[in-house]
Amino acid sequence: LASSSHNHNDFLRCLSTSLPSQLVLTPSSPSFTPLLVSSIRNARLVAPATANPPLCIVTPTNASHVQAAVRCGRRHSVRVRVRSGGHDNEGLSYRSITPNSEAFAVIDLAKLHAVRVNPHEATAWVETGATTGELYYRIATAAPGLGFPASVCPTVGVGVGGIISGGGIGLMMRKYGLSADNVLDATMVDADGNLLANKKAMGDDLFWAIRGGGGGNFGIVLAWKLRLVPVPPKVTFLKIAKTMEQGAVDAVTKWQTLAPALPDDLSVRVVIQKSQANFQSLYLGNCSTVVATMRSRFPELGVTSADCKEMSWLQYTAYIYFGDAINSKPLEALLLNRSTTLGPFVKNKSDYVKKALTKETWKKIFLWPNGGGSGQLILEPHGGAMGRIAADKIPFPHRSGVLYNIQYVELWNGKQAGGDVTPTPNWIGGLYDLMTPYVSKSPRGAYVNYRDLDMGVNKVVGGVTCYQTAKVWGKRYFGPANFRRLAKIKRKVDRTDYFRNEQSIPPLPLN
Ligand code: FDA
């Protein structure tokens, strides 16, 4: 698949004969750059995306447009990257970090965002250009009493294309598992541009791979059929902050083994920032019950009924992101899928913890590097349903024995000079090194949806992604056995490695 300017022109010509012209934007269009950056919230990724832009952005309004874009790409040796919500932590849905080596086009699914809820069946079909906020809103308005386990912060526009492809963790996973555990069926376009209308057409292997094997690897998922889950009329939000002087270190030390063992209806996550621990929870029930549970199981937090708020599940999904500001906004704020405000520079990493850290270790972390840095640690408890689902049921392997996931988030105000950005300050890198002895090992686990290119970048050898190079990061995201199975499926469904990026699944070599 050699790319040249000759091919590029033929590709654009092919698109112009296959798609309505207004659905294909090239860099000469005034709307191109605004559309390219429309889903980017991480300022670190803006300059690299605009400095090496895609050949064009295709904005399909139906499946045949997606098929046509893939077929034109195949015919004229141009790769496509697919974007749903655009929240990939390294921007791989719309940027390439290997400039000039491979031209690509972006298929932006934002116009394909319909949600069809079937309240009687407790299912929904959702097109993959929808955000999780949109999904929550459509479910709750069509079928009060039903919900779906997905992201914690919906309204920043996390897309159901990416999040479900990589798993989907959130505050209902202890009760119902990941988003991907609740996928019943799907439709997709494969690497030959064929429409696979359901899981039967895909076959068991491909249907396994797309539920947690990471986005952008096997084809373009157009829609998911989801199993909806029951939610009570009122759920409870509970929030407690503790400084180090107020016992934050002791509380987090205890939380590590307590949170994964709490009733499945109760999730308590922790956000640590500036030497303070913020405990945030979702309880699928009322305030008085959760206060009683917390007082008996976690008296150190000193929870009282003044710390909790009862609300509908839909209100909760908005409240956890907007906070009290949601009181002055309509819940339709959840439908705003593309943001116009650009956040700071952000870098993320992740880990899994299987053995609780000591109080002394936590003290070091709270004070890292010298009395509290610029970053956040977000701890999501596992246990419950997460521990009961087998590690090979879908490609996401972090199940039984995991106490919690850590997301490291470094935020800073960087400068964008030319095409370069200020390098990442080293709060996150130093802390990640410090954590090595305390987190999961052989392999050190990571969550594919918190993508981190520091773990390794693919090499292309003989025209395809090198399996041995990819294994370094692949086994960390998926575990060795699941990664090998993903590579085997890749060989079967996309032998020539058409869908690829800096961390895509390689085809398994024949020997
Ligand atoms: P984006 O469009 O960038 O796609 C991500 C990857 O999936 C790319 O490789 C892309 O090509 C591919 N892809 C997209 N659509 C596809 C499709 N239709 N078919 C096949 N491949 C497709 N995660 C989580 O589990 N729980 C959480 O609570 C959060 N919260 C959160 C908040 C914020 C602010 C950010 C930035 C990220 C999260 N995440 C998260 C991580 C999130 O799940 C992850 O970044 C997802 O990949 C984002 O999906 P998008 O569709 O938005 O990304």
Listing DSSP states for 143-192 in one string gives: STTEE----S-GGGT-BHHHHHHH----TTHHHH--TGGGEEEEEEE-TT
Residue 69 has a pLDDT of 98
Distance from C-alpha of 357 to C-alpha of 363, rounded to nearest angstrom: 10
pLDDT score, position 451 = 97
Does residue 246 form part of some domain? yes
Q: How far is CA 48 from CA 267, 274, 397, 448, 499, in A?
A: 37, 30, 32, 21, 21
Same domain, 287 and 436: yes
Residue 45 lies in a domain: yes
Q: Do residues 291 and 257 share a domain? A: yes
Identify which of 42, 151, 410 to mutate to test ligand 1's pocket (most ligand atoms within 8 A of the CB): 151
Give the residue, out of 165, 182, 376, with the most ligand 1 atoms within 8 A of its beta carbon, to mutate for a pocket test.
Answer: 165
Please tell me the distance between residue 151's alpha carbon and the centre of ligand 1 in angstroms.
Answer: 10
Ligand 1 center to residue 468 CA distance, Å? 25
Q: Identify which of 168, 182, 135, 183 has the alpha carbon closest to the alpha carbon of residue 317.
A: 135
Measure Cα distances from 316 to 1, 69, 195, 273, 305 in Å: 48, 39, 37, 23, 17
C-alpha 158 – ligand 1 centre gap (Å): 6
The total of structural domains in the chain comes to 4
If we measure between CA atoms, which residue out of 302, 375, 330, 383 comes closest to residue 155? Answer: 330
What's the pLDDT score for residue 472? Answer: 96
Same domain, yes or no, for 273 and 416? yes
Q: Per residue of the chain (511 residues), what is the pLDDT tens digit? A: 556 777 899 999 999 999 999 999 999 999 999 999 988 888 899 888 888 899 999 999 999 999 999 999 999 999 999 999 999 999 999 999 875 567 899 999 999 999 999 999 999 999 999 999 999 999 999 999 999 999 886 555 889 999 999 999 999 999 999 999 999 999 999 999 999 999 999 999 999 999 999 999 999 999 999 999 999 999 999 999 999 999 999 999 999 999 999 999 999 999 999 889 999 999 999 999 999 999 999 999 999 999 999 999 999 999 988 888 888 888 888 887 666 567 789 999 999 999 999 999 999 999 988 655 678 999 999 999 999 999 999 999 999 999 999 999 998 887 765 555 556 677 899 999 999 999 999 999 999 999 999 999 999 999 999 999 999 999 999 999 999 999 999 999 999 999 999 999 999 999 7
What CATH number did the domain enclosing 428 receive? 3.40.462.20
115-118: strand order across its sheet: 115-118, 123-127, 220-227, 183-189, 195-196
Can you tell me which residue has the tokens 């052989």?
A: 442
Indicate whether 408 and 428 sit together in one domain.
yes
pLDDT at res. 426: 76
Look at residue 382 and tell me if it is in a domain. Answer: yes
Neighbours of 509 (CB within 10 A): 13
Does residue 143 sit in the same domain as residue 206?
A: yes
Q: Are residues 174 and 209 in the same domain?
A: yes
The answer to whether residue 320 sits within a structural domain is no
Task: Output the CA 419–ligand 1 centroid distance in Å.
Answer: 24
**Strand (E) or helix (H) holding 364:** helix 359-366
Pick the last residue of a domain from 111, 146, 167.
111
Domain that holds residue 86: 5-111
Last residue of a domain, one of 201, 230, 259: 230
Residue 326 belongs to some domain of the structure: no
**Are 106 and 121 found together in one domain?**
no
Which residue has a Cα nearest atom 15 of ligand 1? 161
Same domain, 257 and 401: yes
Give the nearest ligand 1 atom to 188 CA.
Answer: 19
Residue among 82, 74, 56, 338 at smallest CA distance from 221 = 82
295 and 226 part of one domain:
no
Distance between CA 140 and CA 36 in Å, rounded? 31
Determine the Cα–Cα distance for residues 387 and 115; give it in Å rounded to an integer.
Answer: 30
Whether residues 427 and 474 share a domain: the answer is no
Same domain, 244 and 392: yes
Classify residue 14: in a domain, yes or no: yes
CATH number at residue 40: 3.30.43.10
Give the ranges where 26-82 is alpha helix by DSSP (H): 32-37, 46-51, 63-75
Domain limit, last residue, from 61, 90, 111: 111
ipTM of the complex: 0.99
> CB under 8 Å to 192, separation ≥6 — which residues?
70, 71, 74
Residues with CB under 6 A from ligand 1: 81-89, 92-93, 109, 128, 151-153, 156, 158-159, 161-163, 165-170, 215-216, 220-221, 449
Query: Which helix (H) or strand (E) segment is 255 a member of?
Result: helix 248-258
The answer to whether position 25 is within a domain reads yes
Please give the model's pTM, rounded to 2 decimal places. 0.96
Together in a domain, 266 and 142: no
Atom 37 of ligand 1, residue of closest alpha carbon: 87
Structure tokens at 458: 């693919």
Residue 304 lies in a domain: yes
CATH code for the domain of 178: 3.30.465.10
Query: Rounded to an integer, what distance in angstroms lies between the CA atom of residue 305 and that of residue 292?
Result: 9
